[in-house]
Structure 1
Amino acid sequence: MSVFNPNEQIQLVTFFLNGEEYGIDVMRVREISSMTEITKTANSPHYVNGVINLRGSIVPIISLRRRLGLPDPADDSMSCIAVMDFKGELTGFVIDEISDVIRIKRSEIQPPLDMVAQPWIDGVLNIEQKLVVFLNLEHLA
């Protein structure tokens, strides 16, 4: 059983999606990959773009925009794939653009407001006068 330590330092990868900034725990990120050819899969949910072959592993690719109900981008030239590791299972998420890798104290993560609370939102951070939504992508896979 782990004990919550509010002073524990964690690292987040921050990225943009539809002009808003989001963050994910860097410890869950296997790699960030440039866009590659995605093989379509039949009868998949609308937010599943298909699959890629990542060094011999077949990885499902999810459009994070579609999964969150956002429109497709007008320009996807900066888009990339964040490959996440959820208990040994790889899942890729298409994001608009990587922003930064930051180190924060766990205590800086504020709980989401009740009106926007969703299982995939772990909290909100105020970083340099801007709000960053801290996502739990495992709930969106």
Structure 2
Amino acid sequence: MTKTEGDHSKQSNGVEQEFLSFVLGDENYALDIMSVKEIRGYESVTKIANAPTFVKGVLNLRGDIVPIVDLRMKFNIGQATYDEFTIVIMLNVNDRIVGVVVDAVSDVVKLSAQDILPPPEFGVSFDIRFLRGLATVDEKMVILVNIEALIGSDELGLVDLNATAGQE
């Protein structure tokens, strides 16, 4: 059986995946668009006592209590400011809704596995286990965030991955 050129692009390593790109400070980031529930402006949150500084608090989103995480603070990228231009990306991660604060949303980009380079072992401002890789889009380097690993991490403690795994 011969493959046409069109069939070749549909092979597992050639399938394109969509990412939502966003800006934190001077850097471009992206996350899997399949986890995005909605994009909204920043609104005041209810602070939670003893929460890490990057967890801004919670808000009520149509009956769901949603923790809001400021990625600038989590990744140590400059001082966080909140105004009418601040954006919150609402994510659905491991059956939990979590909001992440970013400076701006850029675009939806399509990347194939060949477009994504492995994360470097040094030179980034946060733990590389939260990185999926790096890609070049329109001559700019984009850092792909592994949002499931970040939201499910022990530091955030927002999603208990073991709680759902043990239930049947």
Report the TM-score when normalising by structure 1: 0.90
- Larger helix proportion of the pair: 2
Unaligned residue ranges in structure 2 (runs of 5+): 1-10, 152-168
Q: Displacement of 1:77 after TM fit? A: 3.6
What are the residue-to-residue correspondences of 1:1-141 with 2, within 5 Å?
Answer: 5-73=12-80, 76-115=83-122, 116=124, 118-141=128-151
SS at match of 1:140: helix
SS at match of 1:119: helix
Q: Displacement of 1:68 after TM fit? A: 0.6
Structure with higher RCO (Cα < 8 A, 6+ apart): 1
CA separation in 2, counterparts of 1:75 and 1:58?
21
Contact 2:135/2:142 (<8 A) preserved: yes
- Larger strand proportion of the pair: 1
Q: Displacement of 1:71 after TM fit? A: 2.1
Q: Which amino acid aligns with 1:37?
A: S
Contact 1:76/1:96 (<8 A) preserved: no
Between 1:41-50 and 1:74-83, the stretch displaced more is 74-83
The alignment yields a C-alpha RMSD, in angstroms, of: 1.6
CA separation in 2, counterparts of 1:126 and 1:104?
9
Report the TM-score when normalising by structure 2: 0.77
Contact 1:9/1:105 (<8 A) preserved: yes
Unaligned residue ranges in structure 1 (runs of 5+): none
* Count of residue correspondences: 138
Q: Which amino acid aligns with 1:58?
A: I
